[in-house]
């Protein structure tokens, strides 16, 4: 790890000033991805700007039919608090199955989605629930936020402050996980709200994506049988030591059917 200057700003404005003055400044939230990158010198900042002391960036509240989660909220709180479990149960369950307790008690929502790992679990939840990412300067639709592997639509210096999750009528997430890392080899999040269905897939491509053909079929009939015959093309899917593109294409169909069955069996959150 190289030497760097460490800063603990107390406001968003102060953080922006420090970043602007730095030769190569980097924001840090939970640090679960950034710290290993620093150790291996994949990231070599001149200044590390810690966001943990800035007021107002953590916390969870419900505003009508929207769940608002602050960017610095820990995974453990998203998984464990009743406000999430009662509003979007599978969002809480999804986060509760991430990594291990030590990571969940340090990692944050904002840090996770800014990292944009193509096999992580938060991106399909944001995409399927049509969440809005709120920053210190604007609001970004989830469909426009994830742009590639480890790449987002964030501008330089922009800070995520919260994510707004519309509460669905039904939702479920099912993944086939790597046993060691708990990252998704393939994960599918299905959500239905006011008759509209979204199906989002993680782990199968360099970036999270929606499966439009399945969405259209499920809007006509929200049952596993409605998508049983839909086959995902293997072209463009990820090939690695965990699976071939053809294997991942098969998993998408299986995980999607299981997610629909699970979502259809659950009552609408109160």
**Contact criterion met (CB below 8 Å) for 54 and 15:** yes
Domain coordinates in residue numbering, the chain: 5-50, 60-166, 170-264
Rg (CA), the chain: 19
- 56 backbone φψ class: left, alpha, beta (φ>0; ψ -120 to 50): left
pTM over 0.85: yes
Q: Which residues contact 204 (CB under 8 A, 6 or more apart)?
A: 186, 232, 237, 238, 248, 249, 251, 252
Cα 79 to Cα 57: distance, rounded to the nearest angstrom:
18
pLDDT on residue 1 = 78
CATH number of the domain at 60-166, out of 3.40.390.10, 3.40.50.720, 3.40.50.300, 3.30.465.10?
A: 3.30.465.10
Rounded (5°) CA angle 175-90-220:
80
pLDDT on residue 77 = 98
pLDDT on residue 270 = 67
Element (H, E) at 152: strand 151-152
Q: What residues pair up with 66 in beta bridges, in sequence order?
A: 63, 166
DSSP annotation of 196 reads E
Q: For residue 108, which phi and psi values (nearest 5 degrees)?
A: -120, 160
Residues of the chain falling short of pLDDT 50: none
Residues present in the chain in total: 270
Cα 187 to Cα 200: distance, rounded to the nearest angstrom:
8
**Contact criterion met (CB below 8 Å) for 222 and 257:** no
3-state secondary structure of 104: helix
Q: What is the pLDDT of residues 185-232, one digit of tens each?
A: 999 999 999 999 999 999 999 999 999 999 999 999 999 999 999 999
Q: What stretches of 25-121 show up as alpha helix (H) in DSSP?
A: 34-39, 75-80, 82-87, 89-96, 101-104, 109-115
- For domain 5-50, which architecture applies? 2-Layer Sandwich (3.30)
Domain boundaries 170-264, corresponding CATH code: 3.30.390.50
pLDDT on residue 174 = 98
């Amino acid at each position: 790890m190289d030497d760097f200057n460490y800063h603990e700003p107390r406001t968003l404005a102060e953080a922006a000033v420090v970043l602007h003055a730095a030769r190569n400044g980097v924001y840090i939230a939970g640090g679960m991805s950034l710290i290993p990158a620093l150790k291996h010198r994949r990231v070599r900042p001149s200044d590390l700007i810690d966001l943990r002391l800035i007021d107002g960036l953590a916390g969870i509240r419900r505003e009508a039919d929207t769940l608002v989660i602050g960017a610095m909220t820990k995974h453990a709180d998203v998984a464990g608090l009743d406000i999430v479990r009662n509003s979007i149960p599978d969002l809480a369950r999804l986060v509760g199955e991430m990594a291990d307790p030590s990571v969940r008690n340090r990692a944050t929502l904002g840090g996770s989605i800014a990292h944009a790992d193509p096999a992580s679990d938060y991106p399909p939840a944001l995409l399927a629930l049509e969440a809005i990412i709120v920053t210190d300067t604007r609001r970004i639709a989830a469909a426009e936020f994830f742009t590639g592997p480890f790449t987002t639509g964030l501008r330089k210096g922009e800070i995520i402050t919260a994510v707004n999750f519309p509460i669905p009528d039904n939702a479920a997430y099912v993944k086939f996980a790597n046993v060691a890392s708990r990252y998704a080899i393939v994960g599918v999040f299905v959500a239905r709200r006011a008759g509209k269905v979204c199906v989002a897939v993680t782990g199968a491509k360099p970036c999270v994506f929606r499966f439009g053909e399945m969405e259209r079929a499920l809007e006509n009939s929200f049952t596993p049988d409605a998508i049983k015959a839909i086959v995902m093309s293997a072209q463009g899917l990820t090939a690695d030591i965990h699976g071939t593109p053809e294997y991942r294409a098969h998993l998408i169909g299986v995980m999607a059917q299981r997610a629909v069955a699970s979502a259809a069996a659950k009552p609408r959150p109160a």
